[in-house]
């Protein structure tokens, strides 16, 4: 009987729809754009850059959590620019705000200017910075907290 219970629990965990199970954030490197695009293909998704030191970023994080409760189709990558040394705190903030389901990344150690330029040469480092992607390309980049009406409309738009 115990073995069946363990197998049932394992099946639930493995069948969780790709939800993150409190894993440490992955490292965002120069080639992370290509890797993320390759995995998602033509699907619509959002990449949002934020920081533990950015008060408006917390407002945006709460907005993402609320939006996911209304629209299950939201595919979100949250990239903290704080660095790997803050991984535990980043993970705790995302869990606390109901974002444990999102793909979490953290800037690699080293030159954040180089990483920002690999994302977008026009990005000057302002946060939050959000990219809306569809069909293998950036559709729109937004500095500051995106308008919730725009985000919802964009997600529901058919390509």
CATH of the domain at 80: 3.40.30.10
The total of structural domains in the chain comes to 1
pLDDT of amino acid 158: 72
Please give the Cα distance from 118 to 57 (Å, whole number): 21
The answer to whether position 13 is within a domain reads no
pLDDT tops 60 at residue 60: yes
For position 111, what pLDDT does the model report? Answer: 80
Q: How many CB atoms lie within 10 A of CB 146?
A: 21
pLDDT tens figures, 108-131: 987 888 999 999 999 999 999 999
**How deeply is 91 buried, as exposed, middle or buried, from its count of CB atoms within 10 A (0-12, 13-18, 19+)?**
buried
Residue 104 belongs to a domain:
yes
Tens of pLDDT along 94-107? 999 999 999 999 99
pLDDT band, residue 134 (cuts 50/70/90): very high
pLDDT above 50: residue 7? no
Per the structure, the complete domain to which residue 43 belongs is given by 19-156
Beta bridge partners of 142: 130
Model confidence at 136: pLDDT above 60: yes
- State residue 23's pLDDT score: 67
Q: Say what the pLDDT of residue 65 is.
A: 97
Does 16 score more than 50 pLDDT?
no
Q: Is residue 6 part of a domain?
A: no
3-state secondary structure 31-72: CHHHHHHHHHCCCCEEEEEECCCCHHHHHHHHHHHHHHHHCC
pLDDT(155) > 80: yes
Structural domain includes residue 51: yes
* pLDDT tier for residue 14 given thresholds of 50, 70 and 90: very low
- Establish if 144 belongs to a structural domain: yes
pLDDT value of position 159: 65
Average pLDDT, the chain: 85
When pLDDT is averaged across residues 31-55 and rounded to a whole number, the result is 94
Q: 14 in a domain, yes or no?
A: no
Give a yes or no: residue 98 inside a domain.
yes
């Amino acid at each position: 009987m115990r073995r069946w219970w363990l197998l049932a629990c394992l099946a639930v965990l493995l069948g969780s729809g790709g939800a993150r199970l409190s894993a440490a954030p992955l490292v965002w490197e120069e080639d992370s754009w290509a890797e993320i695009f390759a995995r998602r293909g033509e699907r619509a998704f959002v990449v949002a850059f934020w920081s533990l030191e950015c008060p408006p970023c917390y407002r945006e994080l709460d907005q993402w959590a609320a939006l996911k409760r209304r629209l299950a189709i939201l595919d979100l990558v949250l990239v903290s620019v704080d660095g790997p040394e803050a991984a535990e705190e980043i993970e705790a903030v995302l869990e606390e705000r109901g974002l444990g389901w999102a793909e979490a990344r953290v800037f690699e150690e080293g030159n954040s200017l180089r990483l920002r330029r690999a994302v977008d040469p026009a990005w000057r480092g302002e946060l939050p910075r959000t990219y809306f992607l569809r069909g293998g390309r950036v559709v729109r980049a937004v500095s500051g907290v995106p308008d919730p009406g725009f985000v919802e409309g964009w997600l529901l738009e058919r390509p």
